[in-house]
């Protein structure tokens, strides 16, 4: 079972507002607000944040009545693009192909489009390379219905040295574009990590996703709590196998709690050995994960059927080398 702490959400948003100065706060609510529920999350944030970022026009439609600008981060084509135009979203243009789709759509619909240009500053995912910019800006002489409002990129690293390399590329691109267009653009590159690393990365706007949900800084509180319950407790002997595959063999007599959550509920099997909070007392390791049940080694604790097991929440973060917190938040329910 999951519960959402909306007070924590607002406090996290207000914390970022307090540190970013005059920069705008863009709340990233893509992919159902990282598994927290896009519609309710957006409604709670609407009076604190300046705008929202989503992954698709369909997501934008769910929060389009809130009166805030919505930036669609992924390229949109065909029906999704038409919906984005209808909603007056800010559309990402990341390639010449996307630009051509957009130009055709605005001409066909007799409408205008607001866009932010995506720059590839080193992540090699989406965006124009620096060498593309001259050709790109030349094409806008044929795109009278399209207005460039902003330019952005995305950090792949999480330290100053890595981010500085990308930041320098991005700022060269910004300088070229603003000089060519003879106007200032809304500039943004900082995600949660970037916004916390250095004030110089914050520019005109920061895009905060994970930080809103409570991760990345000691001043933040987890918004999502996911719990399950103990359905059985077994006393297991030395040498006994627990779970599939014989991967966990007891080296001493152990106490094992059977919990009503498994990979069908999003608890990936690679989370074996991660620790969960048992009966609000101590952290204990998961030793096996099945489809709808998991086994937790609770040796040394007094645990009973019905006790609550906290999988994600304040002080409980199961991320490991195989599963990052993003995946856990999006998948576990």
* Residue numbers annotated as active site: 30, 244
Element containing residue 289 per DSSP (H, E): strand 282-289
Distance CA 186, CA 205 (A): 7
User: Could you tell me the two tokens for 44?
Assistant: 């709670």
User: Could you tell me the two tokens for 69?
Assistant: 């600008």
Residue 272 CA from chain centroid, whole number: 23
The residues with which 28 forms a beta bridge, in sequence order, are 53
The set of long-range contacts for 324-331, using a CB threshold of 8 Å and a minimum separation of 24, is: 325/210, 325/215, 326/34, 326/210, 327/268, 328/266, 328/271, 329/34, 329/35, 329/36, 329/213, 329/224, 330/31, 330/32, 330/34, 330/35, 331/35, 331/266, 331/268
User: Could you tell me the two tokens for 146?
Assistant: 């399209």
CA 209 to each of CA 33, 54, 129: distance values in angstroms, whole numbers, following the listed order: 8, 10, 25
Distance CA 49, CA 14 (A): 9
The two beta strands, 282-289 and 275-278, are antiparallel
Residue 238, judged by CB atoms within 10 A of its CB (0-12, 13-18, 19+), counts as exposed
User: Could you tell me the two tokens for 188?
Assistant: 């943004």
Q: Is 127 helix (H, G, I), strand (E, B) or coil?
A: coil
């Amino acid at each position: 079972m999951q519960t959402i702490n909306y007070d924590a959400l607002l406090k996290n948003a207000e914390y970022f507002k307090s540190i970013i100065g005059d920069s705008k706060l863009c709340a990233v609510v893509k992919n159902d607000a990282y598994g927290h529920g896009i519609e309710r999350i957006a409604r709670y944030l609407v009076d604190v944040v300046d705008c929202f970022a989503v992954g698709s026009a369909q997501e934008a439609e769910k929060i389009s009545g809130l009166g805030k600008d919505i930036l669609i981060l992924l390229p949109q084509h065909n029906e999704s693009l038409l919906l984005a135009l209808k909603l007056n979203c800010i559309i990402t243009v990341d390639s010449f192909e996307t630009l051509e789709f957009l130009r055709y759509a605005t001409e066909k619909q007799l409408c205008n489009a607001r866009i932010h240009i995506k720059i590839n500053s080193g992540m090699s995912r989406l965006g124009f390379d620096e060498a593309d910019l001259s050709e790109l800006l030349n094409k806008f002489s044929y795109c009278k219905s399209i207005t460039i409002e902003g330019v952005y990129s995305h950090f792949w690293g999480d330290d100053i040295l890595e981010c500085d390399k990308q930041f320098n590329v991005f700022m060269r691109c910004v300088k070229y574009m603003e000089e060519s267009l003879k106007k200032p653009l809304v500039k943004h590159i900082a995600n949660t990590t970037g916004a916390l690393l250095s004030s110089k990365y914050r520019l005109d706007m920061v895009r905060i996703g994970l930080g809103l949900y409570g991760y990345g800084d000691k001043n933040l509180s987890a918004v999502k709590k996911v719990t399950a319950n103990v359905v059985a407790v077994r006393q297991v002997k030395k040498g006994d196998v627990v779970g599939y595959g014989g991967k966990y063999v007891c080296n001493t007599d152990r106490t094992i709690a059977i919990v009503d959550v498994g990979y069908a509920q999003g608890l990936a099997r690679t989370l074996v050995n991660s620790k969960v909070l048992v009966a609000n007392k101590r952290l204990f390791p998961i030793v096996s994960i099945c489809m709808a049940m998991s086994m937790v080694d609770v040796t040394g604790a007094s645990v009973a059927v019905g006790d609550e097991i906290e999988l994600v929440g304040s002080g409980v973060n199961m991320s490991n080398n195989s599963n990052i917190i993003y995946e856990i938040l999006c998948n576990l329910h």
